[in-house]
Amino acid sequence: MPTWFIDIKMPLVQQRYEMADITDSTNGIFFTEDSLGFQIVLEGSMDPTVLPDLPVIPINLDISIAAPDPELDGIDLSLGVPPINIPISILIAPNPNLSDDLQLQLPDTADITIDTTVYLGFPGDPILDDYGNLQMIDTTLILSNWTPFGFPTESVRHTSGKYYNQIVVAAFNQFLALIGDSLNQVISLGLDTLDVSSMAPFLASIDTLIISSSDSNYYLTSFKNSMPTSLTNVYSYMVTGNADPLTDTLANHSNMPTVAPGTTYEESTSLSGKGLTNYLNLNTNFALGSAPELESEGDTIVTIPPGSLYVDFTIKFRIE
């Protein structure tokens, strides 16, 4: 039932109108539900409106109607994130700038000996046998309890754990400390300095860039240990964020924290679909473990294999 609301204007006279006097249910005048107005109800029937005959327009409902895609100008972002490929080999080898007596050497447990013949007697008073021949003894003299050797070795060598730790492990880890900054890099992508208003009027800022889906987008690390002792505290990770500390992890390679001698640990993470923010941190860590030292029972022996002692590690990072 249709309803109309009509404003009723009354003259301003010194007269009081009672609402009850205006309502008249027999004539279809009722209070509204909030008692602030009147409702006039007119009952009856209305003839339906008859529309003229209109022509039939055939429509194929199977036709797909596609709206044209709006064309937006592309945005040129030059972030300057070049591919990173860092192959490093830490090799225990002779230093061509040092003389032989200054080269890194370890003492082998083998004795330095000399085979000789000792004649019995005193100068001017030798001891003779029954046939008048000089009495003599073939013997081996020990000149030293240790035999020094350098690298690379031609055969298996043995040295004490104490000397190995003081010479090889100390030099190796000292070199790692020198290159520590190159293994822990923070890269600024410059998203907070981009003038996005000149790129597109509808952009206010760029907070995150989503890396495209491609096999070429990855982070890879590899550790090959050819030392007599293990690599310890091995990990490599890549995180991103807009402020320090960076907490959004893109890759975390820490499944083999200890890499035993003769072992290779390699891990790769796809970066497809992950988000880059303003800063990117690549951090890699490892150290050469020490050989055990037993003071009460004598020192332990470390076996040095023939050839060179080295550790190869690689860091690869690429985004297209």
Which residues are registered as beta bridge partners of 148?
Answer: 107
Q: What is the pTM of this model?
A: 0.62
Amino acid letter, 72: L
Q: Pick the more confident residue, 95 or 86.
A: 86
Contact present, 233 and 257 (Cβ < 8 Å): yes
What tokens were used for 314?
């690689």
188 to each of 121, 152, 276, 281, how far by Cα in Å? 85, 42, 11, 9
Which residues are registered as beta bridge partners of 314?
Answer: 87, 222
What pLDDT is stored for residue 258 in this prediction? 96
What pLDDT is stored for residue 116 in this prediction? 58
Q: Summarize the confidence of residues 30-58 as an average pLDDT.
A: 73
Phi, psi of 87 (to 5 degrees): -95, 125
Quickly list DSSP for 246-267: P-EEEEEE-S-S-B-TT-EEEE
What pLDDT is stored for residue 112 in this prediction? 45
Sign of the torsion angle spanned by Cα atoms 24, 25, 26, 27: positive
The alpha helices in 108-185, defined as continuous H runs, are: 161-164, 170-178, 180-183
Measured between alpha carbons, how far is 94 from 106 in angstroms, rounded to an integer? 12
pLDDT higher than threshold 90 for residue 219: yes
Contact present, 268 and 238 (Cβ < 8 Å): no
Q: Which residues contact 239 (CB under 8 A, 6 or more apart)?
A: 246, 247, 248, 249, 250, 280, 281, 283
Of 319, 312, 89, which is closest to residue 212 (Cα–Cα)? 319
Measured between alpha carbons, how far is 222 from 313 in angstroms, rounded to an integer? 5
Which of 86-95, 131-140, 163-172, 280-289 shows the lowest per-residue confidence on average (mean pLDDT)?
131-140
Distance of CA 262 to the CA centre of its chain: 25
- Which residue shows structure tokens 């225990």? 92
Of 134, 139, 137, 112, which is closest to residue 123 (Cα–Cα)? 134
Number of neighbours of residue 217 by Cβ within 10 angstroms: 18
pLDDT higher than threshold 80 for residue 283: yes
30 to each of 10, 16, 25, 35, 42, how far by Cα in Å? 18, 19, 6, 9, 11
Among 32-36, 162-166, 188-192, the range with the most confident prediction by mean pLDDT is: 162-166
Which residues are registered as beta bridge partners of 147?
Answer: 108
pLDDT tens across 133-186, in order? Answer: 766 666 554 444 556 777 788 888 888 888 889 888 998 999 899 888 888 888
What pLDDT is stored for residue 20 in this prediction? 63
What tokens were used for 150?
């350098």
Q: Pick the more confident residue, 27 or 279.
A: 279
Measured between alpha carbons, how far is 236 from 117 in angstroms, rounded to an integer? 62
Q: What percent of the chain has pLDDT over 70?
A: 62
Residue 227: how many CA atoms within 13 Å on its side-chain side?
30
What tokens were used for 252?
């975390």
Among 57-66, 125-134, 184-193, the range with the most confident prediction by mean pLDDT is: 184-193
Q: Summarize the confidence of residues 111-125 as an average pLDDT.
A: 58
Contact present, 185 and 285 (Cβ < 8 Å): no
SS3 call for 76: coil
Query: Average model confidence (pLDDT) for the chain?
Result: 77
Contact present, 268 and 216 (Cβ < 8 Å): no
